[in-house]
Structure 1
Amino acid sequence: MVKLTATTVKSRHDPGMYADDACRGLYLCVGTGGAKSWILRTTVYGKRREIGLGSVRDVSLAEARDEAQRLRKIARAGGDPITKRSRETITFAQATQRVHAAHVNTWKNRKHTETWLSTIENHVYPSLGTRPIETIGTADILAALQPIWTAKHETAKRLKQRLAIIFDWAKTAGHYHNENPVNGITRALPIVKATDNHMEAMEWADLPAFMADLRKREGVSARCLEFIILTASRSGEARGARWEEFNLKEKVWTVPGNRMKRGVPHRVPLAAPVIRLIEGQRGLDPDYLFPSPSRDKDGKGRPQSDMVFKALYERMGRSGFTTHGFRSTFRDWCSESAQVDRDVAEAALHHTTGNQTERAYARSDLFDRRRKLMQRWAEYALLEAVQRAETKLRRIKRRQS
């Protein structure tokens, strides 16, 4: 018997019951499939009983100890902790808040963190927020989802997933004693045909002319868009680019994992035109490569808003594509014109390829091959701009001669 700690709880993988020396009767139960839960062994009315206290994922060690001590106190006083516990109820809103608090630090996507709770507050709280969670059934969940199932299908699907998580937690924590009411509910809802929702993209053949027009534009947003296109990066990665992420001597931009969609750092080789673009941004801000003209409340720089590109397209008189769509433009060019190997093109976009086993062995990011690819891409994208500049130079020389 040892005193359990958060570290030992995390490190236990062999199936079995592990007693906690700091709390008599409390055990960490590790199942054959690796699932971990808390069990309290105590005596109720002269009989040995085991009481589940919830999953380790949802109930911390400290919470399990507090609950175990509370239930043992009830048993010592001659009461039935199982019956007493089953009568305790919390509202749906309280359960939601507890689940949100338990998971919020594990989410890296800021938008997901903000919308996870607001979606439930908007569509479920009005009818079910104050209801004891134990009283909520499948019909209640159906009534909450039906109004938005077809009109806002993507939102409804995410909401359904979040509700399932809340009721799973409530069941393992002892606040809900029936089957998860979300299970099987899709069969009662209408089928919504999936539609492709790809971002509109510019044809790769039209890109050089667009880049020639873009390079005539002044301003941070124009340079940021040019950078996005030449590096095939996502808007948020480029807008949030910091000087500390760049090694111009080695010609590489290393985006940290906390700014990447997959949470994995990404090395981006920088072609010669991109290096010149970066050098032109010096002096605007000590932190951000493409700073917003407005400062934060402390007077420090901050990234541009994603809305700056919409305004830029309007000034250019351009439409029919999105900023994110330039990644598709790059990918189509790789396949249809440059005939680049699929793995290299996908690595440039920081996409994974192959199944789990293949990814486990293919750990190279193909950086050297990507460096050549990005130089070719920059030369193609700026082709018309270079040709126009050369034509202009020839005209000047003819006039001078």
Structure 2
Amino acid sequence: MAKLNALLVKKLRHDPAKGKRPVRFPDGDGLYLQIAPGAKGDTKSWLFRYTLHGKSREMGLGPFSDSAPGVTLAEARKRAAGARAKLAEGLDPINDRDAKAEKAKRDAAKASAHTFEAAARALVAAKAPGWRSAKHGAQWLATLEQHAFPVIGHKAVATIDTADVLAVLRPIWSKTPETGSRIRQRIEAVLDDARVQGWRDANLANPALWKGHLSATLPSPKKVRPVEHHPSLPWQEMGPFMVALSEHKGMASKALRFAILTGSRTGAVRFMKWGEIDPATKVWTAPAANMKTKRPHRTPLSAAALALLEEVKPLAKTADDCVFPGARSKRPLSDMALSMLVRGMACDGLGEGEAPRWRDGENRPVVPHGFRASLKGWSLATGYPDQLSELALAHADKDKVRAAYAREDMCEERRPMMDAWALHCGTAPKSASASE
């Protein structure tokens, strides 16, 4: 190396190659440093000379450099040794190198042709015979089109890594964990299929894998609870909703209608017993055990609420029976029964991306608890005192001093408001009046 460097320094100093033929400095075993004259100065490169089948050939090994990224003497010797190994196998190292370069070029072109979007659409097409319907396949793609394609749709599946997957998931993981989880599963499926198809290195782990991978970075979707208000139906739409709800004849529909008419939490309604109702005063007194405030709560019953009780009264045998029993005798309805009823009314039969039939101002499907907010909005819009609606909703007064003195529940003062609410919902008999 020292001898080679000394010759190079001498050569560069005296510059005998300028305007003449290239000059070569041998390192041994066919390796040369070549200096060629040029209009912008000499160029220095490595050259390997060999003879195969009686013919002399010269193989370029790259530009000279004392350090990377150029080719150092050590690297040039390594490449020359590799070429000599090919010769020992009876192969032409130039042809072998060109063949590998061409294969790499074809593989790169093949990989670039298989983008994530193309791979996802190919997977959906391949699974089409197994979809419940063509619409199911379109729904499967919908979330990817909305969230994944804009971020990684253009990328070759062979190059997608964990950072790419996280770039898709992080913006939505905490806001809509259910959607985020669904998208992760679909990205994982696309990349698994790409590996099977040979579009992705079989030795690469799937970057969308949850267990043992993304689970270490992202919180579990089941534990993510976005802080937000319950989706509630605008109070102006309560009439049409109640008409649609009344078309469902099951016990869940009756319980939900009663909860809406009384402004009650669904838990208090589900555990409601016949002994809590006073027919003479038309008041329902929910016990403290069933109330969030842990205090008994009286509710004046409108004509519509009383009519609902008459519908289910034939099922009652004792005062301890549930007013709205579940499928099993003497057992209350499950909270899921009411939630699934409302969700089904809002979303059943719709494709992903379609707005729910019954939704709040943010296009979220309404939930049973949200109807309490509908009552609150209606009461304020129609001029009822805030205190009355707060009492109707059994909200705890955050002012402890005021709460200690305000012990009157104003049950009878609330009655006209609850009667008017029932009329607004369109469920009260035509003969009913706000003063009944």
TM interval, short-chain normalised: 0.3 to 0.5
Q: TM-score, normalised by structure 2?
A: 0.42
- Normalised by the size of structure 1, how large is the TM-score? 0.45
